[in-house]
Amino acid sequence: MSKPVVLLAEELSPATVAALGPDFEIRRCDGADRSELLAAIGEAEALLVRSATRVDAEALAAAPRLKVVARAGVGLDNVDVRAATQSGVMVVNAPTSNIVSAAELAVALMLAAARHVSPAHAALRAGEWQRSRYTGTELYEKTVGIVGLGRIGVLVAQRLSAFGMKVLAYDPYVQAGRAAQMGVRLVDLDTLLTESDFMSVHLPKTTETVGLIGADQLARARPGLVLVNAARGGIVDEVALHDALKTGRIAAAGLDVFASEPCTDSPLFELENVVATPHLGASTEEAQEKAGLAVARSVRLALSGELVPDAVNVQGGVIAEDVRPGIPLTEKLGRVFTALAGEVAQQVDVEVRGEITEFDVKVLELAALKGVFSDIVPEQVSYVNAPLLAAERGTAVRLLTEPESPDHRNLITIRGTLADGSQVSVSGTLIGISQRERLVEVNGFDLDIEPTDHLAFLRYEDRPGMVGTVGGILGDAKVNIAGMQVARDAKGGAALVALSVDSAIAAETLAEIALAIDAESVRAVDLTL
């Protein structure tokens, strides 16, 4: 059997390649060369990139086997996440790989701006010894305002606290109590501007944050403010900043990011009170190595069919160990549900009962939808696009949880309402130390049967001889029965036969069975596809 193809479109460390392991065929191309990328991507199941490779709808269309795009870094500006989602392709990155490097660079820029390191260095290289001209200011006992108290903002706050600084922060999505635990006082943006001697920006770039620090904000800032932006370009208005620096309203700035990159020509570069670097936040050996190793682990998880905590376009998050065994079972229940329904349901409820409800079980809803649509739609169904497929087909989805489970330690049920108002349901559980999968209910009938590769469900009126008739027809068709269970709602009432067989039952054999037992319904399920 051929190994899955993993395409490296940019240079990654040997440790990253080693972390992928021997289970994949590693291929390489120059992702920045468009024609080379499109020619190479066709057989790839995973694509690893940095920042130079553009992964858009055209590239995704050229990669019918692609399951995951992994960006060895934090930003995803070069990956069309929406197009990937519509194609059922998981997108992963390494969100924590560069946080230490970025935090350290912010501190470095702050120190460099406060002590005029860049112009003093340039003067010395030009043969000038000007100690008095470049008198700086200490960080000790000054106030620093952190704009954005996320992972990097927290690290910066911790490091600057060690300098003896008083730390303020502005972040509308952080609770004051959490900030207080870190020794940080949470304030509004105006208070931060008027009370801070230093300010460091650590926000993502969104429609709400672009231009957040503009002319009005800089005009209200404490005179002599030193401003650092090592987050994203455009959050600080560069024209307004230039004016404030030139007039002396803002004392100095340390910049690693710009509104348009690469940026080699800016009026800011002409100012002596600006120290600038070319987006070096993640440019350390350690950050690059962490990013490569993180996405290698994610690719292995993605290609083994598991959810990936670092996936940016998959609902859910870290999966508890107690929940993981239920994922493949739930996906099978979804496929059985679709076979029983024979159509797309208008409403699908994923009910989870028992001890596992103390954990986040959102992943089981995704697994159910993946199973429900796998045998309905022609495109590849994944944990990524399954909710989108449900929405496109008008299927309302609910996840219901209940800690009480009278008959089983844990129970997963998929119940749906069809167009005519009728309902279909299928339930499963895991039993024993080995967590063996069992089907325990179908359309209200209690069962106990293993969900093997080939299943069949026959509903008919309870009467003598029907089991023998079914067995005889299957025997004539050379189909071996691995397991059989009969359930009924009452003597002489509705009955259900659940069959586990060793091979697929041909359509004509199913039709013969239906005729022979006057079945109300006959459904076969093939879980091998």
The verdict on whether 28 is a catalytic residue reads no
The verdict on whether 50 is a catalytic residue reads no
Residue 117 CA to residue 247 CA, distance in Å, equals 21
| Candidates 71, 249, 279, 523; catalytic one | 279
| Candidates 71, 222, 232, 523; catalytic one | 232
DSSP code per residue over 281-341: TT-SHHHHHHHHHHHHHHHHHHHTT---TTBSSSS--SPPTTTTTHHHHHHHHHHHHHHHH
Phi, psi of 255 (to 5 degrees): -125, 130
| Candidates 58, 141, 261, 450; catalytic one | 261
Pairing of strands 68-71, 44-49: parallel
Structure tokens belonging to residue 499: 């069959």
Location of structure tokens 């690893």: 48
Structure tokens belonging to residue 311: 């996936």
The verdict on whether 34 is a catalytic residue reads no
**Is 411 within 8 Å of 353 (Cβ atoms)?**
yes
Residue 481 CA to residue 128 CA, distance in Å, equals 93
**Is 485 within 8 Å of 449 (Cβ atoms)?**
yes
Residue 184 CA to residue 180 CA, distance in Å, equals 5
Partners of 274 in the β-ladder: 253
Q: What is the amino acid identity at position 403?
A: P
Pairing of strands 44-49, 5-8: parallel
Cα-based angle 123, 128, 134 (whole degrees, multiple of 5): 60
Residue 368 CA to residue 370 CA, distance in Å, equals 5
* Structure letter (DSSP) for residue 369: H
| Secondary structure of 226-249 as H, E, C letters | EEEECCCCCCECHHHHHHHHHHCC
Residue 318 CA to residue 309 CA, distance in Å, equals 5
* Structure letter (DSSP) for residue 358: G
Residues 6+ apart with CB under 8 A from 280: 105, 256
Supply the residues annotated as catalytic: 232, 261, 279
